[in-house]
Structure formats: structure tokens, C-alpha cells
Amino acid sequence: MDVVGIGETMVSFMPDTFGRMRYTNRFTSRIAGAETNTLIGLAKLNHQVGWISRVGEDEFGASILKFVRGEGVDISQVKQTKNIATGIFFKEVINENDVHIYYYRKNSAASTIERRDINEEYVKSAKYLYLTGITPALSESCREAIFHSIEVANFHGVKVVFDPNIRKKLWNDDLAKKTILAIAEKADILLPGIEEGEFLVGKSTPDEIVKQFHRLGIDTVVLKLGEKGAYYSCRDECGFAPAYKISRVVDPVGAGDGFAAGLLSGMLDQLEMAEAVARGCAVGALVATVSGDVEGLPDREQLKKFTQLNDG
């Protein structure tokens, strides 16, 4: 296994028209969740990936399993819970720059993920453990499971990759900050957005933010700067990868997860850090050109075409 991820995947509903959702009665449903978005991105680039989670024993749970399996992710570690529903969310698009997320995921199946769901042999078999700050926001038992998975990974030398993905709708600022910093300190690779960096360490320039994370003991920090690109810093190297220009942002949700997929794919292919970060930028950009969180994730052929065209 190249990468194992842990987290909640939901059915997402998006109105077929722009504007306030109260005026809509037609929705398109899709499958989305930060960790599977990244895992699917990796699977499309031919990496071996697996997912640890829970879904309800209901129709939405069944459609998630069918979809995620169909995209090439191993789902052998996903449990189905009786009488606990699969989470869902709605994505209201007023316009491309004004997107609102409404969750219906409290007490969902995935929020019952617990420590014993973390199969040690399974985590051990991976090169990277991929986590985001969404899972520990779901419940106490999810927090425990995440910390346990990190212990397992650290013990077996599996590198921990962590995207803070701070969701203020899911928990209060203090608990979010405390928990996310505690996880970040144990991670090998941290992938914050610039605003998340500001929130977590109270600094504002990329250089200051990254230095502060290094002080906390994190070896590799890749700071996502949105439309500007990404700034990365390892112990012995730092640099900047510019963003790829796209003609129109159709749907920005999922771009960060696509970035993680591209970056991890580059690292698995043993590219130089600058090239791996550039691959992250390319995949993130491609995700934003298509409606839906995973539908824009490229395969190798599409990725090659896009980068060749844009690298001139």
C-alpha cells in the first residue's frame, strides 16, 4: 500500500442552479470527503491506496462504497454501521467565488469511528498515513482513533501527512487549534493553507509561518497560497511553486485535496520536492476546473497534457 487515509465521506448535494438554495428544488448528488478525494486522486495516478472509515448501512453508504471502490481505493477497512445514518452535505454556489457548505453529519456513521477501527497491520503496510483535521473534529472517539493511528504510524516508520483542513462549523476555535497543533507536531509533512497557518501559529508571512512550524518539530511544511501557488520548506531546502493558470474556476471545493494527491504522487514517484509541489499545484488547479470535488482529478495522461501545455 502506498497511502492509507482515515476519514468521513458523504453524499454531497449541489443545486442545479446558482443562487440561494431555498429557491432550488433540483440537486445533483455526488460523493465527497477530503480524505477519499485525495485517495481517489492518488488511485487515478496509479498508486495503491486504502481507506479506513465507517458508513451507514443505508443507501447513501452503499453508493459511497460503490463509488470509492470503483475509483480504485481499497475499502476492506470500511465498516457499515446499523441504524446510524451516513452523513450528507449541501454545497450552495451563489457564484464561483461564494460557495457555502451546509453539513448534516452530526452523529453520523463516520463520527463513530473509534480506536479499534485502526488495523495496525494495514497502517503498517503503507508508506504514508494521510490525515486531515476534519476527522478529529467529528467526535471524541474519532480524535482518539486519529491519535492512535499516528502512534501506530510513528512506531512503524510510516510517514504521517496532515492537512489541517480546519472546519470551524464542526468545533470551536480553541479545541480546533489545540487538537490540530497536537497532531501537526507529530506529523512528518504538514499541508496548511495560508489562513490556517495564520490561525494556528499567529504569524502572517509564509516564511514566518513555516519557520514556526519547523520550531514545533515538523520537518516538511508545504503552505498552500491559493491562486499564487505553494511555498515549501524542508529542513535543508525551501522554494516556491507557482500556481497553474486556469481560464475559469468552476468549483474550488476539493482543490486542496487534489493538491495533496499530486504532491504525494510526486513524492511516491521520488521527484524532487519542487516538482512534487508543482504536481500538487497542477492537480489542485484541474480539480477547480470541474464541478464536483473529485470529478476533475486527472489520470496520468490528462496530467501530462495539462502540464505540458502550461509549462510551455
10-15 vs 27-32, strand pairing mode: antiparallel
How big is the chain by its Cα radius of gyration, in Å? Answer: 18
Binding mask 77-106 for ligand CKP (x = CB under 6 A): ------------------------x-----
CB neighbours (10 Å) of residue 236?
7
Closest approach of Cβ 94 to Mg ion, in Å? Answer: 20
Helices 273-288 + 255-268 axis angle, to 10: 150
Closest approach of Cβ 194 to Mg ion, in Å? Answer: 12
- The one catalytic residue among 163, 251, 257, 293: 257
Closest approach of Cβ 198 to ligand CKP, in Å? Answer: 16
Interacting residue with Mg ion among 56, 229, 256, 266 (CB under 5 A): 256
Does residue 256 touch ligand CKP according to CB under 6 A?
yes
Closest approach of Cβ 7 to Mg ion, in Å? Answer: 12
Interacting residue with ligand CKP among 50, 201, 257, 298 (CB under 6 A): 257
**Residue 266's closest CA among 34, 43, 42?**
42
The β-bridge partners of 159 are 128
Interacting residue with ligand CKP among 15, 33, 229, 262 (CB under 6 A): 33
Residues 118-157 that bind ligand CKP (CB under 6 A): 134
Cα separation, 258 vs 245, whole angstroms? 16
257 catalytic per annotation: yes
Does residue 34 touch ligand CKP according to CB under 6 A?
yes
**Residue 39's closest CA among 251, 264, 250, 230?**
264
> Are the beta carbons of 139 and 73 closer than 8 angstroms?
no
Burial label for 10, CB within 10 Å (0-12, 13-18, 19+), is buried
Cα separation, 249 vs 146, whole angstroms? 33
Interacting residue with Mg ion among 135, 165, 179, 307 (CB under 5 A): 165
**Options 67-75, 119-127, 250-258, 265-273: segment touching ligand CKP (CB under 6 A):** 250-258
Binding residues for ligand CKP, rule: CB under 6 A, are 10, 32-34, 37, 101, 134, 165, 167, 253-257, 293
Binding residues for Mg ion, rule: CB under 5 A, are 165, 256
Q: Which residues are catalytic?
A: 257
